[in-house]
């Protein structure tokens, strides 16, 4: 029952069912919390403010899809066996070519939110020109492709001690790659 597979650094998600599961804030938050440390259903319930039944439902779906695993089992003082869950990878990257149409907007919007944060910093330091809504949407799709490309280089790597550092490194490299693409180069010129 306990997984003997070591956690991967990166998992490129190509399965359409698994991608649909990731198009949900609660499940993404469960994975994020589990990436900090393995947790039980009860611990997750407390963190999320959801019932154990609701958390159990999401855990079941994520476990069946291979996105999380049982990291360890512990017997509580009352003799009840507790399962501790952990993500199967430190970073899940959705393959943009496999995203079902009914959840594509979710992933584009997620990247737009990430890009907004990045562009806010760039604007602060006058390192980017104006970004239109259309550019931001096209850039979000390009970012999904770059994330996949960068993530593919990390497929054989072991999970890092700090998953957040890996996420930042992968996003930074993907963004750096975008700044070199002919289509986007002018967008990232210094505007002073």
Residue in 58, 64, 20 with CA at minimum distance from that of residue 39: 58
Residues linked to residue 68 through DSSP beta bridges, in sequence order: 87
Vertex 11: Cα angle to 65 and 181 (nearest 5): 135
Q: What's the burial of 98, exposed, middle or buried (CB within 10 Å: 0-12/13-18/19+)?
A: middle
How far is 166 from 154, CA to CA, in rounded Å? Answer: 10
pLDDT digits (tens, 9 = 90+) for 14-47: 999 999 999 999 999 999 999 999 999 999 999 9
Spell out a b/e string for 121-133, using b for 16 or more CB atoms within 10 Å of the CB, else e: ebeeeeebeeeee
Domains and their CATH numbers in the chain: 8-91 (1.10.10.10), 95-188 (no CATH)
**Both tokens of residue 182?**
């002919």
Query: How far is residue 96's CA from residue 164's CA, in Å, rounded to a whole number?
Result: 22
Q: Which of 89, 55, 71, 86 lies closest to 1 in space, CA to CA?
A: 71
User: Do residues 55 and 45 lie in contact, with contact meaning Cβ atoms separated by under 8 Å?
Assistant: yes
Q: pLDDT digits over 151-191, tens only?
A: 999 888 888 888 899 999 999 999 999 988 888 877 776 54
Please state the pTM of the whole predicted model.
Answer: 0.88
87 closest CA partner among 179, 24, 5: 5
Instruction: Determine the Cα–Cα distance for residues 54 and 41; give it in Å rounded to an integer.
Output: 10
Per-residue pLDDT reduced to its tens digit, 73-97: 998 878 888 999 999 999 999 999 9
């Amino acid at each position: 029952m306990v997984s003997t597979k070591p956690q991967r650094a990166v998992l490129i998600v190509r399965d359409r069912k698994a991608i649909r599961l990731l198009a949900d804030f609660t499940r993404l938050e469960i994975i994020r919390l589990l990436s900090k440390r393995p947790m039980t259903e009860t611990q997750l319930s407390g963190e999320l403010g959801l019932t154990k039944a609701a958390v159990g439902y999401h855990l079941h779906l994520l476990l069946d899809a291979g996105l999380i695993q049982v990291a360890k089992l512990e017997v509580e003082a009352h003799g009840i066996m507790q399962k501790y869950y952990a993500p199967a990878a430190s970073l899940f990257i959705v393959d943009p070519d496999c995203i079902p149409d009914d959840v594509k907007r979710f992933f584009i919007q997620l990247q737009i939110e990430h890009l907004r944060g990045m562009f806010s910093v760039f604007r602060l330091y006058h390192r980017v020109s104006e970004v239109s809504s259309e550019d931001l949407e096209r850039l979000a799709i390009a970012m999904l492709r770059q994330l996949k490309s960068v993530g593919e280089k990390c497929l054989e790597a072991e999970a890092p001690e700090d998953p957040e550092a890996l996420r930042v490194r992968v996003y930074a490299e993907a963004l750096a790659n975008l700044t070199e693409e002919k289509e986007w180069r002018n967008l990232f010129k210094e505007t002073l």
